[in-house]
Every structure is written in C-alpha cells, then in structure tokens.
Amino acid sequence: MTPTHDAILIGAGHNSLACALHLAARGWNVGIYEQAAEPGGAVRTGEYTLPGFRHDWGAMNLSLFAGSPFSKAYGAELARHGAEFAPVADCFASVFPDGTWLGVSTDPAATAARIRALSPRDADTWARLLAEFPARAEDLSGLLNSPAQKRAFAYFMFKLLRRRSIDGTLDLGRFLLSSPRRWLEETFEDTRVHALLAAWGMHLDFAPDVAGGAMFPYLEGMANQSFGMVLGKGGADTITRALVAALAARGGQVECNAPVARILRSGGRATGVELADGRRIAARRAVIANVAPRALDGLLGGGTGEARFDAAMRGFDHAPGTMMIHLALSDLPGWTASPDLRRFAYVHVAPTLDQMARTYAQAKAGLLPDEPVLVVGQPTAIDPTRAPEGRHVLWLQVRMAPGTIRGDAAGKIAATDWAGAAEPFADRALDLLDAHAPGIRGLILARRIVTPAELEADNPNLVGGDQVCGSHHLSQHFLFRPARGHADGTTPVAGLHLTGAAVWPGGGTGAGPGFNLARKLAGG
C-alpha cells in the first residue's frame, strides 16, 4: 500500500517545519522528507571542531524567529519541547583601522555615548530615529508581514495613506527604494556610523550602492537598540529540535536521508513524490517544495509547462556565497580597540562603504576579494554552555565569496577551485582578524573551514554558498519573490507549492514563508 499524507514537504528546513506544525495543528497529516542526515537546513548546530564545542552551521541570530508571528502563535508549545533563548544586550559592533570602534547595545545611553564621541550631531540623529522607531516599525512590520498578494499590498497602502498622508507615504516609498549608501550618507555624517550599519546590508546581498537596501541597516540598528538580540541557548538548533519534537507530538513525520527524486503528477495536479530509493508517497492535498527555484525543473522533469514561470525559476538569481570558519578557542579574541568588544555577539570587520562595495563587486565578478567582509560571531560571550568551561567558539562568516572562482583580486591565490583556494583564503580572513585582535592564531585549538561549495553540497538550496537562497534585490523581492504572481508560494501546477527563503518574505529565521503558506492552505 502506498503511504499517504495530506501534505508532503520536501526539505526539513525551519520554514518546512513551521509550515508542517501549523498544518498538523489544523488536523492535517504531514510528512517531511529531507535529503540530509539531520533536519534544520542552515539552522543546525554541531561539534564541527572538537568535542564539547558547539558551532552553528549557518544561522546564529534567532531574533527574527523569536519575534515572528509564528513564534507568537507557537512559542509556548516550542518552549515545552525545549526551545530556549539566550538574550543579548551587547548586540553588534564594528572595528576600524584607526583603532576606534562603535557598537550598539540595549542601553541607549551607552550607545549614544559611543556615537557622541565620534559625532555629536550623529548622536542627536540616532536619538531622533530611536524616538520615531515605534511609528516607523508599525509601517515596516505591516509591509513585511503582509501576505504576498496584490490585494494585501493594496490594503497596506490604503492604511498607510490614512496614517501618514501622501507626503508621509512618499517619504516611506523613497526610503524603501534607497540604497544603504544614499540613506546613510544623508542621515549621518561620520563614516564609521555609515560602516557600522551598512555591514548589515551585506548579510542580505545589499552592498552599499544597491537600491532597496536601506531598510535592513535601519531595522537592524533600531531593533537591536530597542529590543536586543537573541541566540539559541546551546545552539541555534534549539528551535529545530523543538519544532521536530512538537511536530512529532502532533503526529507529523520527519524522515532524513530521504532525498526526493521527482514530484508525481496526474491530471495536471501534484499527487505525491518519488524518493531516490524508489518509494512513492502520495499527497491528498498538497506537495510543498522547500527548494531553490532552479531545482524545480529537475523535480518536475522539465518544468511546470508555463513558460513565464519556468523561465523565472531557471533564471532565479543568487547572492554571492559565504565561507564559514568555525574556530575552537582557548579564549575570546583580544580586541585592541577595547576589551568591551569581547561582550558583543557580533563584531564586523568592514571598515568603509567603499571597501564593502569593492568586495561585493569583486565577488560578483567571480574574484576572491582582496579584503572580504568579516562577521565575527562570539556566541560563547553570551552563552558559555556552547563550549567547555573557560573555552570559546568563534563563528566566522567570510563575505563575500564567489561560488565559482575566476581569479583572485589580490593576485596571490592561483587556485580557481575551492579545494585549492580554501586554506589561503581562510588565512587571508584570519590576517584581517589578526589586525584587530593580534595573536588570534595562538588561541585556536581547532578550526573547520566550510567553503561555498561545501555549503551547497550539504544543502542544495544554498546555491554557490548563498546563505539567503536568492538575491533580495528589488526585481526579486516583495511581489516578485520568486516570480510575479507566485509570491504566496503557488505554482502553475495545482496542489504544488513553494516555500523557504526563496519565497516572500525571504531569507532569515523568521519562518514567514512557511507560516504564511500553512495559513493559506489551512484557511487561517
């Protein structure tokens, strides 16, 4: 007898798990089939260096998840299944070549004092933005949490016009279209304030001069100042483990080491899946694919049959990749700018807008950047349970890194494959870190380099090491993510839906794509 579920989900990332949990809570029988050995996608934690040292494979910051509509609905249930968070008061900082630093903490006076030391005018501007943030957050939250439908966006615009008038609405529209550089340079005067905030754009494929990127540095600055940040207690996988347990308690099934070979269709409708081992699983109501859009063609054996949609899926654009370096340390880095930096969850080594723009352009051209952006995560400064007593882990993202190497911007690395380029490129990153934390290599007990190629091999959704599953530039965001008319996860094949970071509202740990789809399918 063919096994049957109401809904089959391909892939066990956090969006699939959130989607499945809501469907199960509405009485659906759900089954998730995952090609990897464990669930979670990029939200996993493991001992990747030495026993007792727990490193987050991809995502580290769980603030979006903790503050999401999904968490509001299911947070108590997940807590009963072991989800636990570690609050962060000292959220993020940047270090600069002149020996100065700047950081955002939840203490407004402390943050203001740091900014005031660089620019009294910028400190006043920061205070004004902070005072205005609740009203602006209402607008942006309404936009980012809207279902991806033309009617929903039209209703959002109607409410916005009533609240803000035409002038206020136009001002918001201009802000949403602005590049990080444009907004930062017209708002603040000190270049170090520019760099502090612009570094967040690089997390989501928004280099300083990319239109539509101003919102993300703004939101990270104001939200971290207002609410702080949260990490997963013991590792980011605290939410993955809780989701799997909560789903199992509601009768849902997650099977790993079970890659899906193709999606089955009958009469123009998706009816199930065939696994790589030949098993066929039937779906009464829905097949939900949490896959990179380019993968849909292969799963369907040639696409959906609708030319415009299939072209959009094949042409879906991915952001430059990331190299991860996981370090087991005997101590936290000795930051020369200030020992206070040892308390921060994130320290960016991204000194100027021009450096970030150059790094991005080099990676887009297929070159190993001569000065990559470093995102230095210090989770054990917040949560010491992740390492043996007195020891630490460092979570080092090297951004940007080309998925396919065409050369080296510095002219020093000859290899054009990641097998040969990994070690020298990692050394380049560590040299940059050592310039701000001298002696870092002497603290390393073990390291694990994860190249963009390995990220994709581990998780095919991370094409070229793109950790956000697709560029969020304006032409591929909002109603256009992943294609016009399909930002709600629908496809031209009846009963077949997409979810995951490639679907509105996009990347991050907020679980919006999965939760939105589940509510649509279950009627709320």
Q: Which of 325, 230, 241 is CA-nearest to residue 45? A: 241
Domains 4-37+256-316+469-522 and 320-458 share a fold: no
CA distance 124 to 515: 39
Task: Enter the DSSP assignment of 500.
Answer: S
User: Could you give the angle at the alpha carbon of 202 between the alpha carbons of 196 and 207, nearest 5°?
Assistant: 95
Q: Which H or E element spans position 201? A: helix 191-201
Both tokens assigned to 395: 């979570």
* Fold exhibited by the domain 4-37+256-316+469-522: FAD/NAD(P)-binding domain (3.50.50)
Burial 115-152 (b: 16+ CB within 10 A, else e): beebbeebbebbeebbeebeebeebbeebbbbbbbeeb
Q: Which of 29, 27, 43 is CA-nearest to residue 459? A: 43
CA distance 456 to 215: 28
When mean pLDDT is compared across 1-15, 108-122, 228-242, 439-453, the lowest value belongs to 1-15
pLDDT at position 208 is 98
Q: Would you say residue 153 has pLDDT above 80?
A: no
Q: Would you say residue 1 has pLDDT above 60?
A: no
pLDDT at position 172 is 84
When mean pLDDT is compared across 105-114, 159-168, 178-187, 393-402, the lowest value belongs to 159-168
Mean pLDDT (whole number) for 454-459: 97
Mean pLDDT (whole number) for 483-509: 96
When mean pLDDT is compared across 143-147, 303-307, 318-322, 422-426, the lowest value belongs to 143-147
Higher-pLDDT residue of 266 and 3 is 266
Q: Give 168-226 pLDDT, tens digit per residue.
A: 788 888 999 999 999 999 999 999 999 999 999 999 899 999 999 999 999 999 999 99
CA 227 to chain centroid:
19
Alpha helices in 49-97 (DSSP H): 63-66, 69-80
Q: Would you say residue 148 has pLDDT above 90?
A: no
CA distance 370 to 425: 9
Q: Give 50-107 pLDDT, tens digit per residue.
A: 999 999 999 999 999 999 999 999 999 999 999 999 999 999 999 999 999 999 999 9
Task: Tell me whether residue 318 is exposed, middle or buried, using C-beta atoms within 10 angstroms of its C-beta: 0 to 12, 13 to 18, 19 or more.
Answer: buried
Architecture of domain 320-458 in CATH?
Answer: Alpha-Beta Complex (3.90)
CA distance 123 to 131: 12
Q: Categorize the per-residue pLDDT at 163 as very low, low, confident or very high, splitting at 50, 70 and 90.
A: confident
3-state SS assignment for residue 338: coil
Residue 215: what are its φ and ψ, rounded to 5°? -60, -35
Q: Which of 254, 233, 236 is CA-nearest to residue 245? A: 254
Task: Enter the DSSP assignment of 501.
Answer: T
Instruction: Name, in order, each residue with C-beta under 8 angstroms of 134's C-beta and a sequence gap of 6 or more.
Output: none
pLDDT at position 173 is 86
CB count in 10 Å sphere of residue 490? 18
Which amino acid, 295?
A: A
The DSSP secondary structure of 107-123, one letter per residue, reads -HHHHHHHHHHH-HHHH
Instruction: Name, in order, each residue with C-beta under 8 angstroms of 457's C-beta and a sequence gap of 6 or more.
Output: none
Q: Would you say residue 239 has pLDDT above 60?
A: yes
Q: Would you say residue 155 has pLDDT above 70?
A: no
Q: Give 46-57 pLDDT, tens digit per residue.
A: 999 999 999 999
Task: Tell me whether residue 167 is exposed, middle or buried, using C-beta atoms within 10 angstroms of its C-beta: 0 to 12, 13 to 18, 19 or more.
Answer: exposed
CA distance 168 to 170: 5
360 with 400: CB under 8 angstroms? Answer: yes
Q: Give 321-368 pLDDT, tens digit per residue.
A: 999 999 999 999 999 999 999 999 999 999 999 999 999 999 999 999
pLDDT at position 7 is 98
CA distance 367 to 353: 19
Q: How far is CA 303 from CA 71, 260, 346, 470, 495, in A?
A: 35, 16, 42, 19, 15
CA distance 514 to 498: 9
Sketch the domain layout of the chain as residue ranges: 4-37+256-316+469-522, 109-225, 320-458
Q: Which of 232, 235, 233 is CA-nearest to residue 326? A: 235
pLDDT averaged over every residue in the chain = 95
Higher-pLDDT residue of 1 and 30 is 30
Instruction: Name, in order, each residue with C-beta under 8 angstroms of 118's C-beta and a sequence gap of 6 or more.
Output: 100, 102, 190, 192, 193
The sign of the CA dihedral 207, 213, 214, 219 is: negative
Terminal alpha carbon distance of the chain: 32
| pTM (two decimals) | 0.96
CA distance 524 to 518: 8
